[in-house]
């Protein structure tokens, strides 16, 4: 068995299939770790989501900001954006089953020294704290508090501090796990999308602030691209922007890439 972590697919289902062929993926033998944002921006979000649900026994997937966006939009909490392409999901006959499946996905997965999230971890967080916060949010998304949380996920968010409680605590933690690229020392999340070398004054890539044991696998940052460094693996290599879709093997570090759309 081989475990392949794959960065942001973003509805590029045909590209994804090409990558599976390249890595010789076999259902029932191999496992995929998908780093979130499997939908939106690309042309085949419905096909992509249906494939993941059909193959869920072979997939571990974390929620990204685009999955949370479709869940919020389906409930009327978020507006359609100019580049959104997931509308076929919202009108599909299996819409409710697909969205229900998405809503039950985790925000963090772990195996040994490997941890995967969509975006990042706050400078002050240990991996254990991140896992605790992710579990709290997952319980809310799967329970009666889901609407209250999903209605608060856009726009400005509180900066994470240990003193936060209730919905404020979860809103801040979701922003870190699904939207962070760079931050200040206090972990304040910004909307910066450019390359690390041009990040705003007083900010650094989130992973530069703290050296943690183990390896954190993440996506979300196309301008950073594919990098393997001590302590982290960055997997968003911009498939939806015409660059590459990347798979990285957890067992031996093998890398495979195919051209994007």
pLDDT tens-digit series, residues 93-103: 999 999 999 99
Q: Strands across the sheet with 114-116, in order?
A: 109-111, 114-116, 215-218, 232-234, 227-229
Question: Phi and psi (nearest 5°) for 252?
Answer: -135, 5
What are the sequence ranges of the domains in the chain?
3-259
Residue-level pLDDT at 69? 96
44-58 residue pLDDT tens: 999 999 999 999 999
Residue pair 238/221 in contact by the 8 Å Cβ criterion: no
Q: What is the mean pLDDT of the chain?
A: 95
Reported confidence tier of residue 21, pLDDT bands at 50, 70, 90 = very high
pLDDT tens per residue, range 188-214: 888 899 999 999 999 999 999 998 999
Domain 3-259 belongs in CATH node 3.40.50.2300: no
How is residue 68 written in tokens? 């949370």
Do the beta carbons of residue 233 and residue 214 sit within 8 Å? no
156 has a pLDDT exceeding 80: no
DSSP code of residue 104: T
Look at residue 250 in the predicted model and tell me its pLDDT: 98
Q: Report pLDDT for 187.
A: 85
Give this prediction's pTM.
0.96
Indicate if the pLDDT at residue 185 is higher than 90: no
């Amino acid at each position: 068995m081989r475990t392949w972590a794959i960065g942001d697919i973003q509805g590029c289902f045909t590209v994804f299939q090409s990558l599976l062929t390249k890595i010789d993926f076999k259902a029932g033998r191999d496992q995929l770790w998908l780093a979130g944002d499997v939908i939106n921006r690309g042309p085949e979000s419905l096909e992509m989501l249906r494939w993941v649900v059909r193959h869920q026994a072979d997939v571990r997937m974390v929620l990204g900001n685009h999955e949370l966006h479709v869940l919020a939009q389906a409930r009327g909490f978020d507006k359609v954006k100019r580049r959104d392409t997931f509308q076929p999901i919202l009108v599909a006959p299996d819409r409710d089953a697909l969205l229900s499946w998405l809503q039950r996905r985790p925000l963090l997965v772990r195996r040994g020294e490997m941890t995967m999230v969509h975006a990042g971890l706050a400078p002050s967080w240990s991996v254990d704290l991140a896992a605790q916060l992710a579990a709290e949010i997952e319980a809310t998304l799967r329970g009666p508090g889901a609407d209250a949380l999903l209605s608060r996920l856009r726009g400005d968010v509180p900066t994470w501090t240990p003193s936060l409680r209730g919905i404020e605590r979860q809103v801040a933690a979701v922003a870190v796990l699904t939207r962070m690229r760079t931050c200040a020392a206090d972990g304040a999340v910004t909307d910066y999308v450019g390359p690390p070398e041009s990040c705003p004054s007083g900010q650094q890539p989130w992973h530069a602030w703290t050296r943690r044991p183990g390896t954190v696998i993440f996506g979300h940052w196309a301008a950073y691209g594919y990098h393997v460094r001590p302590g982290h693996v960055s997997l968003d290599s911009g498939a939806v922007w015409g660059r590459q879709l990347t798979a990285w093997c957890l067992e031996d570090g093998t890398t495979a890439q195919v051209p994007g759309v």
